[in-house]
Amino acid sequence: MTSSKNMTINFNGTAIDIATEMNVAKLLQLNDVVDGRFVVVVNDEIVPKSEYDSAVITTGDEVEIMSPITGG
Amino acid sequence: MQQASTWQVYDQTLQSRLFIGTALYSSPQVMMDAIKASGSQVITLSLRRQTPTKSNSGDQFWQLIQSLNCHLLPNTAGCYSAKEAVKTARLARELFQTDWVKLEVLGDSYNLQPDPFALLEATKTLIAEGFKVFPYCTDDLVLCQKLADLGCEVLMPWGAPIGTGKGLINPYALETLRERLPEMTLLVDAGIGKPSDAVQAMELGYDGILLNTAVAEALEPSLMATAFSQAINAGRLAYEAGVMPERQQAKPSTPTLDQPIWQQNV
């Protein structure tokens, strides 16, 4: 794992800096994401829950958390 | 109250013929009360980029939805291309663990009219991937025939543009669809404003109604949900009973034989 002080990712549409590469589980924890029904998408690819520990987020990545909302 | 016959929607047998949306209610409790009052077994919902945290009620909406024990019909609302709609449908399948998708591909932002060409393209892709597609479409016969040819077992033509409450603006087209696609499961989706609009569609032989705004924006959503539930059931019963043919000339319902003499010179 490499570290950098200038790693920027896009997290749900907002650019944020992260201190180092990290796995999805750690990213969710740092952003106070609570357990529940959602899907994590990294660079347009769905990340299954079973891969939260192994999928690494690095600079330039686009991370989206898709959640249920109301709809007609 | 007598209930209309059950019906088949893909692999599910349903009693209620009302699909109801989860949007636009003034509070989660109002939504829950209205959905329960509707007796609906299928609810529509959607998905968006949203971070569930303790400070924004996290998973509350999902917890409420789960407690309803209804079939879920996720939509692809807001998509303006086949590519976007397909991507959204795939995410919806992962998120909601269902192959059902209400496929919306819009072509115009003023009247939210479906784009028929993109709709066909997305439908073809999704059916190949095993989705059970519920296309939100216009009432165009040829489009509907092509959607059926692609493998849709359910079609959902609009009654009027979404959220307008204008009712059935083209009953002729809807009636033609029913006549030309007799084996297809048909629901009117969008534009329903009043329970009488729903009755009209059901009397035409439509199998069900999908609505949201008409209930959510009523002064008493729960009461309106009950009204729609009963109206849709009444409309279906009327269709099953067989509506009398309309005629031009009046025909007395009281027998005219053996009338007293003072009535016979009329």
Q: Does residue B1 form part of some domain?
A: no
Is B22 close to A71, i.e. CB distance below 8 A? yes
- What's the N-to-C CA distance of chain A in angstroms? 45
Residue in chain A closest to B162 (alpha carbons) equals A72
Q: Residue A4 pLDDT more than 70? A: no
Q: Does residue B261 form part of some domain?
A: no
Q: Does residue B212 form part of some domain?
A: yes
> Catalytic residue among B83, B87, B102, B124, which?
B102
Distance from C-alpha of B65 to C-alpha of A36, rounded to nearest angstrom: 13
- Structural domain containing residue B228: 7-243
Residue B198 is part of a domain; what is its CATH number? 3.20.20.70
Buried b (16+ CB within 10 A) or exposed e, A12-48: beeeeebeebbbbbbbbeeeebeeebbbbbbeeebbe
Per the structure, the count of domains in chain B is 1
Q: Residue B94 pLDDT more than 50? A: yes
Q: Does residue B235 form part of some domain?
A: yes
Question: How many angstroms away from the CA of A38 is the closest CA of chain B?
Answer: 6
Distance from C-alpha of B4 to C-alpha of B84, rounded to nearest angstrom: 38
Quick one: pLDDT at residue B88?
A: 97
Q: Residue B266 pLDDT more than 60? A: no
Residue in chain A closest to B87 (alpha carbons) equals A44
DSSP for chain B, please give it.
-PPPPPEEETTEEES--EEEE--S-SSHHHHHHHHHHHT-SEEEEEEEE---BGGGTTTHHHHHHHHHT-EEEEB-TT--SHHHHHHHHHHHHHHH--SEEEE--BS-TTT--B-HHHHHHHHHHHHHTT-EEEEEE-S-HHHHHHHHHHT-SEEEE-SSSTT-----S-HHHHHHHHHH-TTSEEEEES---SHHHHHHHHHTT--EEEESHHHHTSSSHHHHHHHHHHHHHHHHHHHHH-PPPP-SS---SS--TT--GGGTT-
In this predicted model, what pLDDT tens digit does every residue of A7-32 receive, in sequence order? 999 999 999 999 999 999 999 999 99
Residue carrying the six token digits 């009461």: B223
Question: How many angstroms away from the CA of A19 is the closest CA of chain B?
Answer: 20
Mean pLDDT of chain A: 92
Question: How many angstroms away from the CA of A47 is the closest CA of chain B?
Answer: 10
Q: Check if the beta carbon of residue B143 is closer than 8 Å to that of residue B104.
A: no
Q: Check if the beta carbon of residue B240 is closer than 8 Å to that of residue B49.
A: no
ipTM entry: 0.89
Is B75 close to A66, i.e. CB distance below 8 A? no
Distance from C-alpha of B80 to C-alpha of B180, rounded to nearest angstrom: 29
Q: Does residue B197 form part of some domain?
A: yes
Quick one: pLDDT at residue A3?
A: 47
AA identity, residue B143: L
- pLDDT mean over B55-73: 92
Q: A3-66: CATH homologous superfamily? A: Beta-grasp domain (3.10.20.30)
Annotated catalytic residue B194: no
Q: Does residue B265 form part of some domain?
A: no
Residue carrying the six token digits 């591909």: B105
Q: Does residue B161 form part of some domain?
A: yes
Predicted confidence band at B47 (pLDDT cuts at 50, 70, 90)? very high
Angle made by CA atoms B14, B178, B212, in degrees to the nearest 5 = 50
Torsion of CA B166, B114, B11, A41, to 10 degrees: -120
- pLDDT mean over B48-76: 93
Quick one: pLDDT at residue B58?
A: 75
Residue in chain B closest to A62 (alpha carbons) equals B49
Q: SS in 3 state form for chain A?
A: CCEEEEEEEEECCEEEEEEECEEHHHHHHHCCECCCCCEEEECCEEECHHHCCCCEECCCCEEEEEEEEECC
Residue carrying the six token digits 């040819």: B149
Instruction: Indicate the residue of B49, B54, B58 with minimum beta-carbon distance to A13.
Output: B49
Is A68 close to B44, i.e. CB distance below 8 A? no
Give B-chain residues touching A12 at CB under 8 angstroms.
49-51
Q: Does residue B67 form part of some domain?
A: yes
Instruction: Indicate the residue of A11, A32, A69 with minimum beta-carbon distance to B45.
Output: A69
In this predicted model, what pLDDT tens digit does every residue of B155-205 receive, in sequence order? 999 999 999 999 999 999 999 999 999 999 999 999 999 999 999 999 999
In this predicted model, what pLDDT tens digit does every residue of B111-150 receive, in sequence order? 999 999 999 999 999 999 999 999 999 999 999 999 999 9
Instruction: Indicate the residue of B25, B95, B212 with minimum beta-carbon distance to A68.
Output: B95
In this predicted model, what pLDDT tens digit does every residue of B213-225 receive, in sequence order? 999 999 999 999 9
Q: Where are the domains of chain A?
A: 3-66
Distance from C-alpha of B167 to C-alpha of B196, rounded to nearest angstrom: 9
What tokens does B149 get?
A: 């040819």
Predicted confidence band at A5 (pLDDT cuts at 50, 70, 90)? low
